[in-house]
Amino acid sequence: MIRYFASAIIEDMANEYFVSGRKSPYMILIDKTKPEYIEKVQNVTHINGTASVQTVEYAWNARFAKLLSSFHKQSGLAVLLNTSLNRKGMPMAETPEEAFGLFRATDLDLLVIGESVLK
């Protein structure tokens, strides 16, 4: 099982979806999902209405921020599910080889590494 899912969102939009909307680049802070978004982002909202939030800045991770922005333009939602890419009791995958090994050992649907998309 993959561990620790987070709501990835462009930093400037966090206060639209989450009560405090504070900066949280490392998926370690919890925020309360605003009531009007709980159903729309239920896959990243805990049963108690909170969510682990990862805010993304263009200056820090432009590629990920562009992905979030593109998803927002296409879907109307500014939140994607992100994970630390590890299993219980294992460290995070740090290399493409480790990520691929984890991908093969789990039920993930897609793995994106750079320009490569694996199904």
* Whole-number Å distance between alpha carbons of 2 and 6: 12
pLDDT in tens, 46-83: 999 999 999 999 999 999 999 999 999 999 999 998 87
Whole-structure pTM over 0.85, yes or no? no
Residue type, 30: I
DSSP 4-37: -EEEEEEGGGHHHHBSS----TTS-EEEEBPGGG
Q: Is the pLDDT of residue 4 over 80?
A: no
pLDDT score for 109: 87
Q: Where are the domains of the chain?
A: 5-84, 89-119
The closest of 63, 47, 58 to 112, measured between CA atoms, is 63
Q: Is the pLDDT of residue 6 over 50?
A: yes
CATH superfamily of 5-84: Carbamoyltransferase, C-terminal domain (3.90.870.20)
End-to-end Cα, the chain, rounded Å: 18
pLDDT band at 2 (very low <50, low <70, confident <90, very high): very low
- Asked whether the beta carbons of 1 and 106 are under 8 A apart, the reply is yes
When pLDDT is cut at 50, 70 and 90, the band that residue 86 belongs to is: confident
